[in-house]
Structure formats: C-alpha cells, structure tokens
C-alpha cells in the first residue's frame, strides 16, 4: 500500500511540473522587416554584350561563360537550348546577362561584381519600382571582382554597410538578388566559414555561407540580421551544375576599399610584400619547433621586393602584421593588399625557433607580377657530377641554366624516386631540392653527408621547388 502511495505521489508531482513548466519553442528570425527596408536599394542589372560564340551560347538569356563561372568548366548547356551557330562556330551575337547590385549613395552610385559588367556595351539598371536607367561604369577591378556603376538620379534609397569582421560562424545572413532573372528573390542561411581562400582569389578572404545563390545573384548584397550589408555575393561551388550549399561572398571591407579607390582614381592599387607563402601544417609546425600550426610560412622571397629589402627569408613564419594575427597563410595577402602603398608595417615572425620583429615598407603590387621561379623545364646541360642515389631517390646537381634563372648557385634535381625517406616526406620526381634544415645543398655529396647526420624519426624542414614554385616539406629520416 505504501509503495502504491509513493508511486501515485511521484506521478502527481511529475504532472504538476508539466503544468507549471512553460513550453520553450525554437526562435527563428523574422526577416520581413529587413526585406521591406532594404529591398528598394537592391537593383537588377542587365547588360548587352557582343560575344564570340564558340561552344554554345546562352541559356535563358544567361551567357555560357557566366554559367561556367558559377557551375565550373564542366557545365553543359542543355541540348536544344543553345542557338545555332554560323560557319566555324564563332559568330558574334548580342546577348544579355543578368546580375544584381545595390545602391550605396542617394546620388546613384551602385556596387556590383566585375564579372557582371565586364565587356558590356550597355548596362540597364532596373529599380524596385520597375524604373529603368542606363548606367555607366566608373571603374572595375577583376582581382576583387568589384565594379562601381553610376546612374543619373537623386534621393535614391541606400543600404547600410556593416562589418564582416564581426560576423560569427553560425550567424544568420540573408541575400536579395535576381537568380535567373527572378527579381527581388530573398534567400537565407548561416555563415558556414570565414576567410576562405579560393584559387586565383588570394586577395579576397571569402565569407562562405549556405545561402542559396545562383546565376543572377552575382553582385547582390549579403545582409546580417541588423539589415547591414556584410558582403557581396560572388561565387558558388558546385559539382552537379546546381546550388549545393556552398556560396562565397566578398567581405564588405575588402569591397569598399576597392570601391573608394575606384571612385577616387578609377583603379585599385594593392600593397605588396613579394613573398610566396604556404600553410603551416601540423607536421611542418613540428619541424619548425612550434607549439601548434599557425601563421604564414614564407616559401620564397622574390628579389628586389619589399620583403627582400627588409631581410625576410624563406623559412620565416609570419605571425602578425601591425598586431593583426595571421592565423593561416590565406590571411596574409588581404591584410597586405589593403595596406596603403608606401606605409611601413611591422611583421612579427618566427625564424628558426626565435621570435623577431621586422619593419617592411609596402610597395604597389605589379600588374604583371611574374614568379621569380618562372622558367621553362631545362635539359641536362651543365652537369658536373654523375647521378647518385640518396634516401631512395636518384639526384643530380642542378643545371647551370636553372641556377641562373633562379638566382642561386646551389640545388639538386630529383630525376627518379621510389621507396625511401624522401618519397615518404612528399618529394616527387622532378622536384628541385634547395635546402634541408636551412642548409643549402651544393652537391649530391652534401645531401648524403647531411642525411647521415640528421636524427632519425625527427621532422626537419626541407625546401624544394615544384612546378616553378617553392614550398617546404617535413623531412623524416627513417
């Protein structure tokens, strides 16, 4: 009887808790006011271009090249959708491309992507109230993919600009644009990652989101929940030809730095150090005696550049610039790129296990900068020694012609490789071995003697040249 009473009492207590405990619902953001306030400042952009048709044409008014920028080179125009071509498949035709932009000043300045208006013969801006105006290009920058347009108008609605640096991963964001020409389309998602480096876009630390972005969204604004523009929607990554949850936006600080320069001078000038950098992996950090991977590893320093003049060396790990932490290699180019030309910056770096501080005066990035290691594949002229086998690889002295082009008087070429310490460390046939543990490799005998002295099982930094570019690998002697 006592047991029944106890069970009944516990049951009644549980029911009372259910009654008095309030139900908690997940709170999702309401975007309606944000859209109502900002949609009038978002515009549709259409351009007329004369293009050389080679492999198709356009799809629903969107040029094939624009589609390929979004979906990759494997994108195929659906069968029957491409217009017929003339003889040779290279007819010129006027096509219209679609994009998005947003108004940053009431007197008619509009920001969009460079690739939206590149090579345009005519640009038409359609506003939220369906009014259309012809725009002219004030300036455009391909590296940051930013363009500034101007229409003759007054008292236009404008957006408020925010700070992408304050964005947090997981934060809600929203895009307004014209995907496939469907104007004023609103999509939402979260910030998936920050400071993403994409190929050929080293000066843009992209914001990655899962906001649905498609052709026509290009140049449109990315808003935070405060209704502030924090980025410009620029690219997506896709293997299927459709949206796959990987969208990339240009941080608004990077974009506006370009915009202000374009408005002031008509072009964009970037800061330049003159180094090639690579990521510090866990194995490389161990070889450099670091507690954890961080910073930008200098793989090579170009001659007669700010870095070379200041004394920066290959093997240095740049940890900060003017107090701004460089967490990974991709963080360095945007910081330097946005530094005014002629301004000195303070680099904090790690060199052979010791912290150092160095001042470097930033110069202008050359328009046609060529790698100091850009040369043709050489033959085998100028050999002064026979091929020898060391650490599982056949190596020969570096050719004199290559030494001259690299501006060095040392180095060894790997002609073939199989099982051994070098291949396990990532060395490939054709690589040029420059130095191990900061010691230059002058001859094959030097490599053999050094290998015999290195401690087994310990990671040692090794610098090589591969495909005209220097990089570090962690060498482990087995």
Q: Is the domain of 72 the same as that of 152?
A: yes
**Residue in 115, 141, 201, 316 annotated catalytic:** 115
| Cα 308 from Cα 39, distance rounded (Å) | 49
Q: In whole angstroms, what separates CA 124 from the centre of its chain?
A: 30
* 114 belongs to the catalytic site: no
Task: Kindly state the helix (H) or strand (E) to which residue 70 belongs, with its residue range.
Answer: helix 64-71
Shared-domain flag, residues 109 and 199 = yes
How much is the pLDDT for 181? Answer: 87
CATH number of the domain bearing residue 174: 2.40.10.120
Highest mean pLDDT: which of 218-232, 262-276, 373-387, 452-466? Answer: 218-232
pLDDT at 50: 65
The active-site residue out of 218, 320, 331, 421 is 218
Picking from 38, 385, 364, 363, the residue whose alpha carbon sits closest to that of residue 222 is 38
Based on the fold, state whether residues 112 and 191 are members of the same structural domain.
yes
Q: Are residues 57 and 185 both part of a single domain?
A: yes
- Looking up tokens 């090249």 gives 65
Decide if 4 is inside a domain. Answer: no
Contact 347, 312 (CB under 8 A): yes
- Of 348, 364, 380, which marks where a domain is finished? 364
Instruction: Tell me how far apart the terminal alpha carbons of the chain are, to the nearest angstrom.
Output: 76
For 423-461, write each residue's pLDDT tens digit.
Answer: 899 999 999 999 999 999 988 888 888 888 888 888 999
Least confident stretch, 43-47, 318-322, 352-356, 466-470: 466-470
Give yes or no: 440 in active site: no
Q: Is residue 20 situated within a structural domain?
A: no
Domain match, 336 and 439 both: no
CATH number for the domain harbouring residue 426: 2.30.42.10
In a domain? residue 284: yes
Encode pLDDT of 310-346 as tens digits: 999 999 999 999 999 999 898 999 999 999 999 999 9
Structural domain of residue 103, as residue ranges? Answer: 32-78+87-265
218 is known as an active-site residue: yes
**How far out from the chain centre does Cα 301 lie?**
21
- pTM here is 0.76
- 92, pLDDT greater than 70: no
Q: What is the pLDDT of residues 29-88, one digit of tens each?
A: 999 999 999 999 999 999 987 666 555 455 555 556 555 555 555 555 555 454 444 444
Its sign, for the CA torsion 432, 372, 277, 449, is positive
């Amino acid at each position: 009887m006592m047991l029944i009473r106890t069970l009944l009492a516990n049951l009644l207590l549980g029911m009372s808790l259910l009654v008095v405990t309030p139900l908690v619902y997940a709170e999702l953001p309401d975007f309606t006011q944000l859209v109502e306030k900002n949609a009038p400042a978002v515009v549709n952009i259409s351009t007329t271009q004369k293009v050389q048709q080679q492999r198709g044409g356009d799809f629903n008014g969107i040029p094939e090249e624009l589609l390929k920028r979004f979906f990759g080179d494997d994108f195929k125009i659906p069968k029957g959708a491409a217009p017929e071509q003339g003889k040779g498949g290279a007819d010129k035709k006027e096509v219209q491309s679609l994009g998005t932009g947003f108004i940053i000043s009431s007197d008619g300045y509009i920001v969009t992507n460079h690739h939206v208006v590149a090579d345009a013969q005519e640009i038409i801006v359609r506003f939220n109230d369906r009014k259309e105006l012809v725009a002219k290009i004030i300036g455009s920058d391909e590296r940051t993919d930013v363009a500034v347009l101007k229409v003759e108008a007054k008292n236009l609605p404008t957006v408020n600009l925010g700070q992408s640096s304050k964005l947090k991963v997981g934060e809600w964001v929203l895009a307004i644009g014209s995907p496939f020409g469907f104007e004023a389309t609103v999509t939402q998602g979260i910030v998936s990652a920050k400071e993403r480096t994409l190929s050929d876009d080293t000066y843009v630390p992209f914001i990655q989101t899962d906001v649905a972005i498609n052709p026509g969204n290009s140049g449109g604004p990315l808003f935070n929940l405060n209704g502030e523009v924090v980025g410009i929607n620029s690219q997506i990554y896709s293997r299927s030809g459709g949206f796959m949850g990987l969208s990339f936006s240009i941080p608004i600080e990077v974009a506006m730095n370009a915009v202000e320069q374009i408005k002031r001078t008509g072009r964009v000038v970037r800061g330049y150090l003159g180094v090639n950098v690579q990521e510090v992996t866990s194995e490389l950090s161990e070889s450099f005696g670091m507690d954890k991977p961080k910073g930008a590893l200098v793989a090579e320093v170009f001659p007669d550049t700010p870095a070379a003049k200041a004394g920066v060396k290959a093997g240095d790990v740049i940890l900060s610039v003017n107090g701004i932490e460089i967490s990974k290699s991709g963080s360095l180019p945007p910081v330097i790129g946005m530094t005014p030309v002629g301004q000195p910056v303070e680099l904090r770096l790690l060199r052979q296990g010791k912290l150092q501080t160095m001042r470097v005066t930033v110069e202008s990035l050359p328009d046609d900068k060529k790698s100091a290691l850009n040369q043709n594949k050489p033959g085998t002229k100028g050999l002064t020694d026979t091929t020898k086998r060391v650490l599982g690889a056949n190596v020969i002295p570096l050719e004199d012609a290559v030494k001259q082009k690299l501006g060095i008087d040392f180095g060894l070429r790997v002609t073939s490789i199989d099982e051994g310490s070098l291949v396990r460390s990532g060395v490939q046939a054709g690589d040029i071995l420059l130095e191990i543990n900061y010691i230059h490799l002058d001859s094959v005998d030097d490599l053999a003697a050094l290998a015999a002295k290195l401690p087994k099982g310990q990671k040692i930094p090794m610098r090589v040249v591969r495909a005209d570019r220097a990089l570090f690998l962690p060498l482990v002697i087995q």
